[in-house]
Amino acid sequence: MRTGSRPEPWKRGPVLAVLALLPGLLMLLHAQIPDIGGLGSLVETFLPWFGLPVPVLAALALRRRSASAVVALLLPVTTWLTLFGGVLGDKSHPGGDLTVVSHNVGADNSDPAGTARDLAASGADVLALEEITPQAGTTYEKELATAYPYHTARGTVGLWSKLPLSDTRTVDVAMQGMAGPLAEHMSAEEKAPTPRALRATVATDQGPLAVYVAHLGSVRVMPRGGFSTDQRDRGAQALGRALAAERSERVVLLGDLNGTLDDRAFADVTSQLHSAQDTAGSGFGFSWPATFPVARIDQVLVRGVKAESSWVLPATGSDHLPVAAGISW
Best CATH choice for the domain 98-328 from the list 3.40.640.10, 3.60.10.10, 3.40.50.10490, 3.40.47.10: 3.60.10.10
Say if residue 261's pLDDT is above 70: yes
Say if residue 225's pLDDT is above 70: no
Q: What is the mean pLDDT of residues 14-37?
A: 94
In whole angstroms, give the CA distance from residue 54 to residue 46. 15
What are the residue ranges spanned by the domains of the chain? 9-87, 98-328
Say if residue 45's pLDDT is above 60: yes
Cα dihedral across residues 297, 282, 26, 18: positive or negative: negative
Q: What is the mean pLDDT of residues 44-61?
A: 96
List pLDDT tens digits, range 268-325. Answer: 999 999 999 999 999 999 999 999 999 999 999 999 999 999 999 999 999 999 999 9
Q: What pLDDT is stored for residue 46 in this prediction?
A: 95
Assign 182 a pLDDT band (cuts: 50, 70, 90): very low
In whole angstroms, give the CA distance from residue 158 to residue 142. 13
Q: What pLDDT is stored for residue 38 in this prediction?
A: 85
Q: What is the mean pLDDT of residues 99-118?
A: 98
Assign 127 a pLDDT band (cuts: 50, 70, 90): very high
CB burial readout 272-283, b (16+ within 10 A) else e: bbebbbbbbbbe
Say if residue 1's pLDDT is above 50: no
Q: What pLDDT is stored for residue 36 in this prediction?
A: 86
Assign 194 a pLDDT band (cuts: 50, 70, 90): confident
Residue closest to 204 by CA, chosen among 295, 93, 99: 99
> Based on C-alpha coordinates, what's the Rg of the chain?
23
In whole angstroms, give the CA distance from residue 103 to residue 192. 22
Q: Percentage of residues in the chain with pLDDT exceeding 90? A: 82
In whole angstroms, give the CA distance from residue 149 to residue 161. 7
Q: What is the mean pLDDT of residues 155-177?
A: 90
Q: What pLDDT is stored for residue 185 in this prediction?
A: 46
Q: What pLDDT is stored for residue 6 in this prediction?
A: 57
Q: At what angle do helices 53-64 and 74-84 cross, to 10 degrees?
A: 160
Q: Which amino acid is located at 68 in the chain?
A: S
> Which residues are registered as beta bridge partners of 154?
157
Tell how strand 306-312 and strand 165-170 pair up.
unpaired
How many residues can be counted in the chain?
329
pTM, rounded to two decimals: 0.89
In whole angstroms, give the CA distance from residue 86 to residue 64. 32
